[in-house]
Amino acid sequence: MERNEVVALLGRNGSGKTTLVKSAACLRRGKVRVRVEGQEFCVDPDYSKLSAVLQEPSTQILAPTCREEVHLISLFHPVREEIPLRLMGPYYDVEFQRLSDGYKKRFSISTVLASSPLYLILDEPFANLDEEGISLVKSSIPKGTLLTEHRVREVRGLVDRVYLLREGIVEVDRDRLWDEDFLRAEGLRGFSVPESRGKPGEEVLKVGWLRIREGEALCLVGPNGSGKTTALKRLAGRAYLVFQEPDLQFFHETVREEVGDREALDLFGLRGKEDLSPYLLSHGEKMRVLMASAFSSGRKVVALDEPSVGMDGQFLLSLYRMVDLMREERRGVIIATHDRDLMGLCDTVISLSRSSGPELVKG
Protein backbone atom coordinates (compact mmCIF):
# COMPACT_ATOMS: atom_id res chain seq x y z
CA MET A 1 0.00 0.00 0.00
CA GLU A 2 1.23 3.44 -0.94
CA ARG A 3 0.77 6.65 1.02
CA ASN A 4 -1.56 8.08 -1.63
CA GLU A 5 -4.18 5.33 -1.71
CA VAL A 6 -6.94 3.62 0.24
CA VAL A 7 -6.99 -0.18 -0.08
CA ALA A 8 -9.77 -2.65 0.79
CA LEU A 9 -9.24 -6.19 2.05
CA LEU A 10 -12.39 -8.29 1.54
CA GLY A 11 -13.31 -11.88 2.32
CA ARG A 12 -15.84 -14.25 3.83
CA ASN A 13 -16.36 -14.72 7.56
CA GLY A 14 -13.45 -16.71 8.93
CA SER A 15 -11.12 -16.02 5.99
CA GLY A 16 -8.59 -14.36 8.28
CA LYS A 17 -9.08 -10.60 7.83
CA THR A 18 -9.06 -9.76 11.53
CA THR A 19 -6.17 -12.15 12.17
CA LEU A 20 -4.16 -10.34 9.51
CA VAL A 21 -5.06 -6.94 10.98
CA LYS A 22 -4.03 -7.95 14.49
CA SER A 23 -0.81 -9.48 13.23
CA ALA A 24 0.00 -6.33 11.26
CA ALA A 25 -0.51 -4.26 14.41
CA CYS A 26 1.78 -6.68 16.35
CA LEU A 27 -1.10 -7.80 18.56
CA ARG A 28 -0.67 -11.49 17.81
CA ARG A 29 2.14 -13.66 16.55
CA GLY A 30 1.90 -15.18 13.12
CA LYS A 31 3.48 -15.43 9.71
CA VAL A 32 2.53 -11.88 8.71
CA ARG A 33 5.54 -9.61 8.25
CA VAL A 34 4.91 -5.87 8.10
CA ARG A 35 7.35 -3.39 6.63
CA VAL A 36 6.81 0.34 7.08
CA GLU A 37 9.13 2.60 5.11
CA GLY A 38 11.50 -0.33 4.59
CA GLN A 39 11.72 -1.35 8.26
CA GLU A 40 10.30 -4.43 10.02
CA PHE A 41 7.50 -2.78 12.02
CA CYS A 42 7.05 -5.31 14.83
CA VAL A 43 10.75 -5.29 15.77
CA ASP A 44 10.23 -1.86 17.32
CA PRO A 45 6.59 -0.77 16.80
CA ASP A 46 6.01 2.95 16.37
CA TYR A 47 2.26 3.53 16.38
CA SER A 48 2.66 7.07 15.09
CA LYS A 49 3.69 5.38 11.82
CA LEU A 50 1.09 2.59 11.78
CA SER A 51 -2.04 2.38 13.92
CA ALA A 52 -5.21 0.30 13.83
CA VAL A 53 -8.85 0.42 14.88
CA LEU A 54 -10.17 -3.02 15.86
CA GLN A 55 -13.73 -4.36 15.81
CA GLU A 56 -14.32 -4.13 19.56
CA PRO A 57 -14.11 -0.44 20.62
CA SER A 58 -13.79 -1.25 24.34
CA THR A 59 -10.44 -2.98 23.77
CA GLN A 60 -8.79 0.32 22.77
CA ILE A 61 -10.21 2.76 25.31
CA LEU A 62 -8.21 4.04 28.29
CA ALA A 63 -10.06 7.20 29.38
CA PRO A 64 -13.72 7.60 30.39
CA THR A 65 -14.62 10.24 27.75
CA CYS A 66 -13.45 11.06 24.25
CA ARG A 67 -12.11 14.43 25.38
CA GLU A 68 -10.00 12.78 28.08
CA GLU A 69 -8.81 10.10 25.65
CA VAL A 70 -7.65 12.77 23.20
CA HIS A 71 -5.84 14.58 26.02
CA LEU A 72 -4.11 11.32 27.01
CA ILE A 73 -2.99 10.74 23.40
CA SER A 74 -1.71 14.33 23.21
CA LEU A 75 0.85 13.50 25.92
CA PHE A 76 2.57 11.16 23.42
CA HIS A 77 1.57 12.36 19.93
CA PRO A 78 0.46 15.60 18.27
CA VAL A 79 -3.34 15.48 17.93
CA ARG A 80 -5.98 17.05 15.69
CA GLU A 81 -8.86 17.54 18.09
CA GLU A 82 -11.18 18.81 15.36
CA ILE A 83 -11.62 15.22 14.09
CA PRO A 84 -13.13 13.71 17.27
CA LEU A 85 -15.08 16.91 17.87
CA ARG A 86 -16.72 16.49 14.46
CA LEU A 87 -17.31 12.73 14.72
CA MET A 88 -18.61 12.74 18.30
CA GLY A 89 -20.61 15.99 18.23
CA PRO A 90 -22.66 16.41 21.44
CA TYR A 91 -21.28 13.10 22.81
CA TYR A 92 -17.68 14.31 23.05
CA ASP A 93 -17.86 14.54 26.87
CA VAL A 94 -20.22 11.59 27.49
CA GLU A 95 -18.75 8.59 29.31
CA PHE A 96 -17.86 5.70 27.02
CA GLN A 97 -20.02 3.17 28.90
CA ARG A 98 -23.10 5.38 28.41
CA LEU A 99 -22.68 5.64 24.64
CA SER A 100 -24.61 3.61 22.09
CA ASP A 101 -22.63 0.98 20.19
CA GLY A 102 -22.47 3.28 17.19
CA TYR A 103 -20.97 6.15 19.18
CA LYS A 104 -18.55 3.76 20.87
CA LYS A 105 -17.33 2.91 17.37
CA ARG A 106 -17.06 6.61 16.51
CA PHE A 107 -15.08 7.13 19.74
CA SER A 108 -12.43 4.53 18.86
CA ILE A 109 -12.13 5.64 15.23
CA SER A 110 -11.96 9.36 15.99
CA THR A 111 -9.31 9.07 18.70
CA VAL A 112 -6.99 7.04 16.46
CA LEU A 113 -7.59 9.43 13.54
CA ALA A 114 -6.76 12.36 15.86
CA SER A 115 -3.16 11.14 16.19
CA SER A 116 -2.69 11.23 12.37
CA PRO A 117 -0.62 8.04 11.89
CA LEU A 118 1.25 7.74 8.59
CA TYR A 119 -0.61 4.51 7.84
CA LEU A 120 -3.91 3.28 9.25
CA ILE A 121 -5.71 -0.07 9.38
CA LEU A 122 -9.48 -0.09 10.00
CA ASP A 123 -11.24 -3.37 10.78
CA GLU A 124 -14.95 -3.13 9.86
CA PRO A 125 -15.10 0.68 10.33
CA PHE A 126 -18.76 1.00 9.25
CA ALA A 127 -20.17 -1.70 11.54
CA ASN A 128 -22.76 -0.30 14.00
CA LEU A 129 -22.81 3.12 12.31
CA ASP A 130 -25.92 4.92 11.09
CA GLU A 131 -25.98 6.78 7.76
CA GLU A 132 -24.68 10.00 9.33
CA GLY A 133 -21.85 8.14 11.05
CA ILE A 134 -20.87 6.32 7.85
CA SER A 135 -20.76 9.60 5.95
CA LEU A 136 -18.64 11.31 8.63
CA VAL A 137 -16.19 8.41 8.89
CA LYS A 138 -15.88 8.13 5.11
CA SER A 139 -15.01 11.81 4.83
CA SER A 140 -12.39 11.41 7.59
CA ILE A 141 -10.53 8.35 6.27
CA PRO A 142 -7.09 9.51 5.10
CA LYS A 143 -4.94 8.21 2.29
CA GLY A 144 -2.61 5.47 3.48
CA THR A 145 -5.49 3.41 4.89
CA LEU A 146 -6.12 -0.33 4.64
CA LEU A 147 -9.66 -1.33 5.61
CA THR A 148 -11.63 -4.55 5.92
CA GLU A 149 -15.37 -4.33 5.46
CA HIS A 150 -18.38 -6.50 4.69
CA ARG A 151 -20.55 -3.61 3.50
CA VAL A 152 -19.18 -3.65 -0.05
CA ARG A 153 -21.51 -0.83 -1.15
CA GLU A 154 -19.78 1.52 1.27
CA VAL A 155 -16.27 0.90 -0.08
CA ARG A 156 -16.98 0.94 -3.83
CA GLY A 157 -16.36 4.63 -4.35
CA LEU A 158 -13.90 4.99 -1.49
CA VAL A 159 -11.00 2.68 -2.28
CA ASP A 160 -8.32 2.79 -4.95
CA ARG A 161 -7.45 -0.91 -4.93
CA VAL A 162 -9.02 -4.15 -3.68
CA TYR A 163 -7.58 -7.41 -2.33
CA LEU A 164 -9.59 -10.57 -1.76
CA LEU A 165 -8.61 -12.99 1.01
CA ARG A 166 -9.32 -16.60 0.05
CA GLU A 167 -6.77 -19.33 0.67
CA GLY A 168 -4.26 -16.60 -0.11
CA ILE A 169 -4.49 -12.92 -0.99
CA VAL A 170 -5.27 -11.90 -4.58
CA GLU A 171 -5.75 -8.44 -6.04
CA VAL A 172 -9.02 -7.97 -7.96
CA ASP A 173 -10.25 -5.25 -10.28
CA ARG A 174 -12.21 -2.62 -8.35
CA ASP A 175 -14.99 -2.83 -10.96
CA ARG A 176 -15.78 -6.35 -9.71
CA LEU A 177 -17.40 -4.74 -6.64
CA TRP A 178 -20.38 -3.90 -8.88
CA ASP A 179 -20.57 -7.44 -10.30
CA GLU A 180 -23.36 -9.25 -8.42
CA ASP A 181 -22.37 -12.68 -9.73
CA PHE A 182 -18.82 -12.14 -8.48
CA LEU A 183 -20.04 -10.96 -5.06
CA ARG A 184 -22.34 -13.96 -4.62
CA ALA A 185 -19.66 -16.41 -5.74
CA GLU A 186 -17.13 -14.97 -3.28
CA GLY A 187 -19.61 -14.77 -0.38
CA LEU A 188 -19.43 -10.97 -0.30
CA ARG A 189 -22.28 -8.58 0.29
CA GLY A 190 -23.56 -5.91 -2.08
CA PHE A 191 -25.79 -8.06 -4.30
CA SER A 192 -29.54 -7.56 -4.54
CA VAL A 193 -31.75 -9.64 -2.24
CA PRO A 194 -35.45 -10.20 -3.08
CA GLU A 195 -37.88 -8.80 -0.54
CA SER A 196 -39.29 -11.27 1.96
CA ARG A 197 -42.80 -10.66 3.30
CA GLY A 198 -45.03 -12.40 5.81
CA LYS A 199 -48.70 -12.26 6.79
CA PRO A 200 -48.70 -11.19 10.45
CA GLY A 201 -51.43 -12.68 12.60
CA GLU A 202 -52.47 -12.19 16.21
CA GLU A 203 -50.39 -10.19 18.69
CA VAL A 204 -48.05 -12.42 20.70
CA LEU A 205 -46.07 -9.87 22.73
CA LYS A 206 -46.58 -6.26 23.81
CA VAL A 207 -44.21 -4.23 25.98
CA GLY A 208 -45.08 -0.54 26.15
CA TRP A 209 -45.34 0.78 22.59
CA LEU A 210 -43.53 -2.27 21.17
CA ARG A 211 -45.76 -5.09 19.96
CA ILE A 212 -45.05 -8.08 17.76
CA ARG A 213 -47.49 -10.38 15.93
CA GLU A 214 -47.34 -13.99 14.78
CA GLY A 215 -45.20 -14.39 11.67
CA GLU A 216 -44.07 -10.76 11.69
CA ALA A 217 -40.63 -9.28 11.05
CA LEU A 218 -40.56 -5.94 12.86
CA CYS A 219 -37.60 -3.61 12.25
CA LEU A 220 -36.52 -0.80 14.57
CA VAL A 221 -34.52 1.88 12.76
CA GLY A 222 -33.09 5.24 13.74
CA PRO A 223 -29.79 7.05 14.34
CA ASN A 224 -27.12 5.97 16.81
CA GLY A 225 -28.25 6.82 20.33
CA SER A 226 -31.99 6.82 19.54
CA GLY A 227 -32.77 3.93 21.91
CA LYS A 228 -33.07 0.80 19.74
CA THR A 229 -30.93 -1.37 22.03
CA THR A 230 -32.68 0.06 25.09
CA ALA A 231 -36.04 -0.94 23.58
CA LEU A 232 -34.83 -4.51 23.10
CA LYS A 233 -33.52 -4.72 26.66
CA ARG A 234 -37.08 -4.15 27.90
CA LEU A 235 -37.97 -7.51 26.37
CA ALA A 236 -35.64 -9.43 28.72
CA GLY A 237 -37.37 -12.53 30.01
CA ARG A 238 -40.13 -12.30 27.40
CA ALA A 239 -38.18 -12.90 24.18
CA TYR A 240 -34.96 -14.60 23.07
CA LEU A 241 -32.46 -11.73 22.84
CA VAL A 242 -29.23 -11.53 20.81
CA PHE A 243 -27.04 -8.48 21.38
CA GLN A 244 -23.89 -7.18 19.72
CA GLU A 245 -21.11 -8.62 21.91
CA PRO A 246 -21.08 -12.35 21.17
CA ASP A 247 -18.38 -13.29 23.70
CA LEU A 248 -20.75 -12.30 26.53
CA GLN A 249 -23.51 -14.62 25.26
CA PHE A 250 -21.92 -18.06 25.06
CA PHE A 251 -22.66 -20.62 27.77
CA HIS A 252 -21.22 -23.90 26.46
CA GLU A 253 -17.85 -25.30 25.46
CA THR A 254 -18.65 -26.18 21.84
CA VAL A 255 -20.67 -24.83 18.91
CA ARG A 256 -22.71 -28.05 18.92
CA GLU A 257 -23.80 -27.50 22.52
CA GLU A 258 -24.56 -23.81 21.93
CA VAL A 259 -26.80 -24.47 18.93
CA GLY A 260 -28.20 -27.89 19.82
CA ASP A 261 -29.92 -28.42 16.48
CA ARG A 262 -28.61 -29.95 13.22
CA GLU A 263 -30.96 -27.93 10.99
CA ALA A 264 -29.75 -24.67 12.54
CA LEU A 265 -26.11 -25.69 12.07
CA ASP A 266 -26.78 -26.37 8.39
CA LEU A 267 -28.76 -23.16 7.94
CA PHE A 268 -25.86 -20.99 9.11
CA GLY A 269 -23.04 -22.98 7.51
CA LEU A 270 -21.59 -24.22 10.80
CA ARG A 271 -21.05 -27.85 9.81
CA GLY A 272 -17.42 -28.77 10.42
CA LYS A 273 -17.18 -26.34 13.34
CA GLU A 274 -19.45 -28.21 15.77
CA ASP A 275 -16.65 -29.36 18.07
CA LEU A 276 -14.86 -26.00 18.21
CA SER A 277 -15.18 -23.56 21.07
CA PRO A 278 -17.31 -20.61 19.87
CA TYR A 279 -14.65 -18.29 21.33
CA LEU A 280 -12.16 -19.50 18.69
CA LEU A 281 -14.32 -18.36 15.77
CA SER A 282 -14.20 -15.07 13.87
CA HIS A 283 -16.63 -12.33 14.88
CA GLY A 284 -18.92 -13.10 11.94
CA GLU A 285 -18.89 -16.82 12.73
CA LYS A 286 -19.69 -16.07 16.37
CA MET A 287 -22.74 -14.11 15.21
CA ARG A 288 -23.76 -17.12 13.11
CA VAL A 289 -23.67 -19.28 16.25
CA LEU A 290 -25.86 -16.79 18.11
CA MET A 291 -28.37 -16.62 15.21
CA ALA A 292 -28.47 -20.41 15.00
CA SER A 293 -29.05 -20.63 18.77
CA ALA A 294 -31.89 -18.11 18.50
CA PHE A 295 -33.51 -20.08 15.69
CA SER A 296 -33.19 -23.43 17.49
CA SER A 297 -34.49 -22.01 20.80
CA GLY A 298 -38.10 -22.42 19.68
CA ARG A 299 -39.03 -19.15 21.43
CA LYS A 300 -42.13 -17.45 20.10
CA VAL A 301 -40.33 -14.10 19.75
CA VAL A 302 -36.66 -13.54 18.86
CA ALA A 303 -35.08 -10.06 19.08
CA LEU A 304 -31.81 -9.29 17.26
CA ASP A 305 -29.67 -6.22 17.87
CA GLU A 306 -27.69 -5.26 14.73
CA PRO A 307 -27.44 -8.88 13.57
CA SER A 308 -25.65 -7.94 10.33
CA VAL A 309 -22.47 -6.66 12.06
CA GLY A 310 -19.66 -8.79 10.64
CA MET A 311 -22.13 -10.50 8.27
CA ASP A 312 -20.86 -11.75 4.89
CA GLY A 313 -23.06 -12.50 1.88
CA GLN A 314 -23.68 -16.11 2.82
CA PHE A 315 -24.76 -15.10 6.33
CA LEU A 316 -27.13 -12.49 4.87
CA LEU A 317 -28.91 -15.16 2.84
CA SER A 318 -29.02 -17.46 5.90
CA LEU A 319 -30.68 -14.72 7.96
CA TYR A 320 -33.32 -14.19 5.27
CA ARG A 321 -33.98 -17.94 5.21
CA MET A 322 -34.18 -18.04 9.01
CA VAL A 323 -36.84 -15.30 9.06
CA ASP A 324 -38.85 -17.10 6.36
CA LEU A 325 -38.77 -20.33 8.39
CA MET A 326 -39.83 -18.51 11.54
CA ARG A 327 -42.74 -16.97 9.67
CA GLU A 328 -43.84 -20.47 8.66
CA GLU A 329 -43.71 -21.43 12.33
CA ARG A 330 -45.77 -18.31 13.21
CA ARG A 331 -42.94 -16.88 15.31
CA GLY A 332 -42.11 -13.18 15.51
CA VAL A 333 -38.76 -11.49 14.86
CA ILE A 334 -37.67 -8.02 16.03
CA ILE A 335 -34.58 -6.56 14.35
CA ALA A 336 -32.83 -3.36 15.43
CA THR A 337 -30.70 -2.24 12.50
CA HIS A 338 -29.11 0.51 10.39
CA ASP A 339 -28.42 -1.87 7.53
CA ARG A 340 -30.21 -1.26 4.23
CA ASP A 341 -29.59 -4.91 3.26
CA LEU A 342 -32.05 -5.97 5.98
CA MET A 343 -34.89 -3.65 4.97
CA GLY A 344 -36.22 -6.28 2.55
CA LEU A 345 -37.09 -8.45 5.55
CA CYS A 346 -39.35 -5.96 7.31
CA ASP A 347 -43.14 -6.30 7.43
CA THR A 348 -43.26 -3.38 9.85
CA VAL A 349 -40.75 -0.54 10.34
CA ILE A 350 -40.72 1.72 13.41
CA SER A 351 -38.38 4.70 13.37
CA LEU A 352 -36.90 6.02 16.62
CA SER A 353 -35.28 9.41 17.13
CA ARG A 354 -33.27 11.00 19.91
CA SER A 355 -35.85 13.72 20.53
CA SER A 356 -39.27 12.14 20.00
CA GLY A 357 -41.08 8.85 20.41
CA PRO A 358 -41.43 5.93 18.00
CA GLU A 359 -43.02 6.54 14.62
CA LEU A 360 -44.60 3.87 12.44
CA VAL A 361 -43.02 4.10 9.00
CA LYS A 362 -44.36 0.92 7.42
CA GLY A 363 -46.81 -1.80 8.36
Domain membership of residue 218 (yes or no) is yes
Q: What is the CA radius of gyration of the chain?
A: 21
Q: How far is C-alpha 356 from the geometric centre of its chain's CA atoms?
A: 26
Identify whether 284 is part of a domain: yes
Inside any domain, residue 176: yes
- Helices H / strands E in the chain, number of each: 12, 16
Q: Is residue 195 part of a domain?
A: no
Look at residue 62 and tell me if it is in a domain.
Answer: yes
Domain stops at, among 133, 156, 185: 185
| Residue 117 and residue 10 in one domain | yes
Asked whether residue 105 falls in the same domain as residue 213, the answer is: no
For residue 1, being part of any structural domain is answered with: no
Q: Does residue 193 lie in a domain region?
A: no
User: Which CATH number do you get for residue 145?
Assistant: 3.40.50.300
108 and 68, same structural domain?
yes
Within this chain, do residues 174 and 223 fall inside the same structural domain, yes or no?
Answer: no
Domain endpoint, select from 154, 185, 216: 185
Question: Is the same domain home to 156 and 230?
Answer: no
Q: Is residue 85 part of a domain?
A: yes
354 and 219, same structural domain? yes
pTM of the prediction? Answer: 0.90
* Domain hosting residue 223, numbered range: 203-362
Q: Which helix (H) or strand (E) holds 162?
A: strand 161-165
In a shared domain, residues 25 and 154? yes
Residues 222 and 160 in one domain: no
CB atoms within 10 A of CB 294: 23
Q: Kindly state whether residues 127 and 18 are assigned to the same domain.
A: yes
Asked if residue 107 and residue 181 are part of one domain, the reply reads: yes
Same domain, 260 and 300: yes
Among the three residues 185, 218, 243, which one is the final residue of a domain in this structure? Answer: 185
From residue 287, how far is each of 258, 270, 308 by CA, in Å? 12, 11, 8
What's the domain count of the chain? 2
Q: Which residues contact 275 (CB under 8 A, 6 or more apart)?
A: 254, 255, 256
Residues 177 and 208 reside in one and the same domain: no
CB neighbour list of residue 212: distance below 8 Å, 6 or more residues apart: 203, 204, 205, 206, 218, 301, 332, 333, 334
pLDDT tens digits, the chain, 363 residues: what are they?
A: 999 999 999 999 989 898 888 898 898 776 788 999 889 999 999 999 999 999 889 889 999 999 999 999 999 989 999 999 999 999 999 999 999 999 999 999 999 999 999 999 999 999 889 999 999 999 999 999 999 999 999 999 999 999 999 888 999 999 999 999 999 999 999 999 989 999 999 999 999 999 999 999 999 999 998 999 999 999 999 999 999 889 999 999 999 999 999 999 999 999 999 999 999 998 889 999 999 999 999 999 999 999 998 889 999 999 999 999 999 999 999 999 989 899 999 999 999 988 777 998 888
